[in-house]
Amino acid sequence: MPLYHETTVRGYLEGLRMSALMQSRIEEFIAEYQTAIGSSPEFMFVENPLDALGGIDFSNLILLSGNMYMEFSLNQPNRTITFLNIDKNVNRIVMSNLQQPSFNGRFTETSRMTVQTFNSMEVIGFFEASGENCGDLLEMLKTYFIPAISG
């Protein structure tokens, strides 16, 4: 889904094979974002790594606008929300655990991607994706994070 639009949110979440309960929770977080920021996000990404048994673990919702990043934890008992100014905090990106990566946008169900963002030696972001969602993670990096370190 990368670019956010309220009419396509449900389709994006259903495409990730997300339960209706989790979809509703994410829609509530988007509403909280809109209240806190005063506008809708430009970009939306839901992490979907696979657990040890091959099940999908929806771990974080990431919403971006301009150079502002906001992350909602989805699977922690204590609700955590993180705000970050990308331009002032990200100076290095490490892509690891790449399985069948494709920088031309061709990802398959067996694709996996893990990305860490750093401020000097401190890890400040950790993103994981599986399947075609790797393309959305790559799009998020190309649109928001890579320009922050190359500018």
Domain ranges of the chain: 9-150
Q: What is the pLDDT of residue 29?
A: 93
Close Cβ partners of 21 (under 8 Å, ≥ 6 residues apart): none
Selected residue with higher pLDDT from 124 and 105: 124
**Which tens digit of pLDDT belongs to each residue from 46-98?**
999 988 888 899 999 999 999 999 999 998 777 788 899 999 999 999 988 77
Answer yes or no: are the C-beta atoms of 85 and 76 closer than 8 Å: no
Q: What is the pLDDT of residue 6?
A: 85
Instruction: Band the pLDDT of 35: cuts 50, 70, 90.
Output: very high
Structure tokens at 7: 């009419």
In this model, does residue 1 exceed pLDDT 60? Answer: no
Q: What is the pLDDT of residue 107?
A: 86
Q: Report whether CATH 1.10.3470 matches the domain 9-150.
A: no
Structure tokens at 105: 């946008």
CA–CA distance from 38 to each of 2, 60, 77, 93, 150 (Å)?
Answer: 20, 21, 27, 29, 29
Distance CA 133, CA 149 (A): 23
